[in-house]
Structure 1
Amino acid sequence: MTEPSVAVVILNWNGQALLEKFLPGVIESQYNNLQLIVGDNASTDNSVEFVKTNYPQIRLIINDHNYGFAEGYRKILEQVEADYYILLNSDVEVPPNWIQPVIDLMQSDPTIAVAQPKIKWQKKKTEFEYAGAAGGFLDLHGYPFCRGRLFDTVESDHGQYNDTVEIFWASGAALFIKSKQWKEVGGLDPDFFAHMEEIDLCWRLKNLGYKIIYCPDAEVYHVGGGTLDANNPYKTYLNFRNNLIILQKNLPLSDAYFRIFIRMSIDFIAWLHFLLQGKTDFAFAVNKAHFHFLKTLTANAKKRTSKQISFQKHTGQYPSSIVYDYFIRKIRFFSQLKRN
């Protein structure tokens, strides 16, 4: 039986150094029906010439503008035909056999739309990586977290998450998705620009009855922070803004606005914390995020569909507050959470 076709698509913006470091490993990927693509977001460095010169076997698709992560991928994937897309960050190191186990798992169940491998830290490969780890979850108020990472506490990998499980969201650092489902929901929302767009994508798919799966039989190694540093106020703005948008877009109306009110109240505590620490740029970023969210309420309301399902009914939703459990109860490990 013919293996499904797979396209590994790396979105690049001024990332020549990362391409030099990690493309050689991607080239060695062991999968028969595979195409490798670098999509460039109008880089101003020598990225495009580097790929052309050193990797003529890689297909280059060049955007005319830096559209960010979400819209950048949408424009690139409009030009790619394959059964599966793999959205791979340019700062991810891959071993040779990282594709087959995930594809085999997804092929085993037609309701699986998205999957991710185990994601570990490239600089210390015994530890999970912040952006994805062993699969993403959402708490009662819509805060994302991972198996293997609660806020700033990142676990070492001792095989504690070597089970195949359904999760709420898969990391965009190494996201496997069936092209049919990508097209069904229209891909990533371009208005997110970057951060949490993969959570929105997975949530829309879950509302349609699809599964998001974590595959421990494949692992990759992510540098992290390759685009925006964690100490960048713009990243804070995007995270606070986009988190509110995913609640509005994907929750039933009877649930959405109550939870948004609670979230904005919790955000006020974060704003106050930033202010007391003298981090005025970060406090302003929270203000800006809330202003933008309120300004675009009507536009985002138009993106809602008839398939909003309370996320307590979805696998991968944590029924308590991860903020309370981490900062007040001092829980540091996913295994300590009471999920039933």
Structure 2
Amino acid sequence: MKSIAVAILNWNGRPLLERFLPSVLQHSDQGDVIVIDNGSTDDSIEWLKSHHPDVRIIALESNSGYAGGYNEGMKQIEHEYVVLLNSDVEVTKNWLQPILDRFASDEQIGAIQPKILSLNEPSKFEYAGAAGGFIDQLGYPFCRGRIFYFTEEDKGQYNDAMPVFWSTGACLAVRAEAYHKAGELDPQFFAHMEEIDLCWRMQRNGYSCWVEPASEVYHLGGGTLSSQSTQKTYLNFRNNLILLTKNLPQRKILSVILARLILDGVAGIQFALKGQIPHTLAIVKAHFHFYGRYGKIVKRRSGEFPWPLTGVYRQSIVRQVFLGGMKSFDKLTKSAFTFPKASRNS
């Protein structure tokens, strides 16, 4: 058995498997390729058995989302490292080796992502992860190469490997030991931001999360929920509130949630002014769901809550972008980021 596995979660995604699995098989000699089927009702499994009989299939009985599907699959994977790979990702030659080398460089690295570029616009970073994830003081996630919906062109400006706050779930390589110690992915997220929650908990446990741009992949994006989906809006706003309540120090929760209530209200008004009322209602629904479960979320808090952690931007990214016009990562104030000493190891 090889030390690393590439685990692809599939749910009724035969067209994506047909399109993207060949590149994974072609360029993943260093790893074992596994498909975790999340209770598909199409002919995905039959197609895999017919066209790729050597690919290991872990068949789950029902669809339990990104988090639940990978958690169940990880129970049956015994590799030291596992790449949780979206089914709509095209990998490139030798993409696994830099990830393996980075893991080998430090036993405290818990997660790594490659550089994520857009399959539809290959010269640009892709929304989901770009060149590494960060978070601001109010819990807004963003990336090197992508802030909110503003994606940058890749000119090699972010080719240095470095620790980040979170590594993207589109292509998330984890040290299995760190994954399980952190408590795995949280199923209550179902989809969106569960990898940020996992990386946050890894950092709280003393592990670091990295981006390794020497590894490069191309992400189609929108394979599960499109950017126009009200369900995606609902999940993003709800899950962000859950994320903050689970992981922030107690002294910060109330002030941050109150600030988010105001800013999320502004976002809802903007949707309404654009005639996108269903998205406004999705934000309202997200907040009501969160407040209804707040007590249960708080009761599940455990462990230490150090703050700030690596990759925190101690300013408001909303203010910087929408009032200051800073729509690219390299324009942000570098001294406002929290990094350990000698963090940029290439």
Is the contact between residue 250 and residue 309 of structure 1 (CA under 8 Å) also seen in structure 2?
Answer: no
Q: 1:315, CA displacement in angstroms?
A: 1.5
Give the superposed CA RMSD.
1.2
| Residue 298 of structure 2, aligned match among 291, 301, 310 | 301
- Tell me the CA shift for residue 303 of structure 1: 2.2
How far has the Cα of 1:129 moved from its partner?
Answer: 0.5
Secondary structure (helix, strand or coil) at the match of 1:240 reads helix
Report the CA distance between 1:4 and its aligned residue: 6.2
Secondary structure at 2:20's aligned position in 1? Answer: helix
1:260 to partner: Cα distance = 1.1
1:260 to 257, 262, 272: 257
8 Å contact kept, 1:149–1:333: yes
Aligned-partner residue type, residue 261 of structure 1: L
Deviation, 1:291, is 0.7
Q: Which amino acid aligns with 1:54?
A: H
Q: What TM-score do the two structures reach when normalised by structure 2? A: 0.95
- Are residues 1:337 and 2:332 paired? yes
1:324 aligns with 2:322: no
**Cα pair 1:319 1:339 within 8 Å, conserved:** no
CA deviation profile, 1:125-157 (whole Å, cap 9, x unmatched)? 211101000000001110000000112211111
| Aligned partners of 1:26 and 1:93 also within 8 Å | yes
- Which of these residues, 25, 28, 40, is aligned with residue 27 of structure 1? 25
- Report how far residue 302 of structure 1 moved: 2.4
Identify the residue that residue 196 of structure 1 maps to in structure 2: 193
Q: CA deviation at 1:168?
A: 0.4
Amino acid at match of 2:257: I
Take 1:30 and 1:194, find their aligned partners in 2: how far apart are those partners? 26
Describe the SS at the equivalent of 1:40. strand
Q: CA deviation at 1:164?
A: 1.1
Q: Is the 8 A contact 2:245 2:298 kept in 1?
A: yes
Report if the CA contact (8 A) 1:142-1:243 is conserved.
Answer: yes
AA of the residue aligned to 2:248:
L
Alignment counterpart, residue 154 of structure 2, candidates 157, 161, 167: 157
Say whether 1:109 aligns with 2:106. Answer: yes
Counterpart secondary structure, 1:115: strand
Equivalent pair of 2:203/2:209 in contact (CA under 8 Å): yes
Q: 1:227 to 1:30 in 2, by over 3 A?
A: closer
Amino acid at match of 2:12: N
Contact 2:16 2:87 in 1 (8 A): yes
CA distance in 1, matches of 2:54, 2:88: 20
- Corresponding residue number in structure 2 for 1:7: 5
1:289 counterpart (269, 286, 290): 286
Q: Which runs of 5+ in 1 are unaligned?
A: none
Q: Deviation at 1:306?
A: 2.3
> Take 1:229 and 1:216, find their aligned partners in 2: how far apart are those partners?
26
Per the alignment, residue 241 of structure 2 pairs with: 244
- Matched ranges for 1:1-340 at <5 A: 5-32=3-30, 34-310=31-307, 313-340=308-335
Tell me how far apart the structure 1 counterparts of residues 129 and 141 of structure 2 sit (CA, whole Å).
Answer: 10
CA separation in 2, counterparts of 1:4 and 1:41?
24
Aligned-partner SS, 1:326: helix
Q: Could you tell me how far apart the structure 2 residues matched to 1:102 and 1:256 are?
A: 35
- Following the alignment from structure 2 to structure 1, what is the Cα–Cα distance between the partners of residues 126 and 188? 26
Contact 1:25 1:93 in 2 (8 A): yes
Are the equivalent residues in 1 in contact too, given 2:132–2:166 (CA < 8 A)? yes
Amino acid aligned to 1:243 = N
AA in 2 matched with 1:253: Q
Measured in 1, the distance between the counterparts of 2:115 and 2:139 equals 23
Q: Report what 2:339 is aligned to.
A: none
CA gap 1:70/1:97 in 2 versus in 1, 3 angstroms: same
Deviation at 1:278, TM superposition (A): 2.0
- C-alpha separation in 1, matches of 2:256 and 2:2: 41
Relative distance call for 1:242 and 1:173 in structure 2 (3 A) is same
- Residue 312 of structure 2 aligns to a residue whose secondary structure is coil
Q: Distance in 1 between matches of 2:191 and 2:170?
A: 12
Deviations 1:6-35 (A, max 9, x none): 111000111111100111111112444x22
Q: Is 2:11–2:63's contact at 8 Å kept on the other side of the alignment?
A: yes
* Secondary structure, counterpart of 1:127 in structure 2: coil
How far 1:96 sits from its partner (Å)? 2.5
